Amino acid sequence: MKTFRKLQKVAIVVGMVYGLWLGCNEAATDKDSISGMVIVALSVIVALSLLMPDAKQEESL
């Protein structure tokens, strides 16, 4: 489970950096900008899932 959390953190960082680079690039087309913002949005979803407590831990309490 610890490895999965590290993978999530890496995916968040890579997604944010690549998405912002792609979306804010001066030579980007409209399609590139939209794709970049979609990548950023998906990175935010992964970050939120990382912050949410596990449902199994709450049930056992």
pLDDT of residue 54: 67
Global pTM value = 0.76
pLDDT of residue 55: 58
Q: What is the 3-state secondary structure (H, E, C) of the chain?
A: CHHHHHHHHHHHHHHHHHHHHHHHCCCCCHHHHHHHHHHHHHHHHHHHHHHCCCHHHHHHC
pLDDT of residue 57: 57
pLDDT of residue 27: 85
Mean pLDDT for each 10-residue chunk of the chain (61 residues)?
A: 86 93 86 91 92 65 56
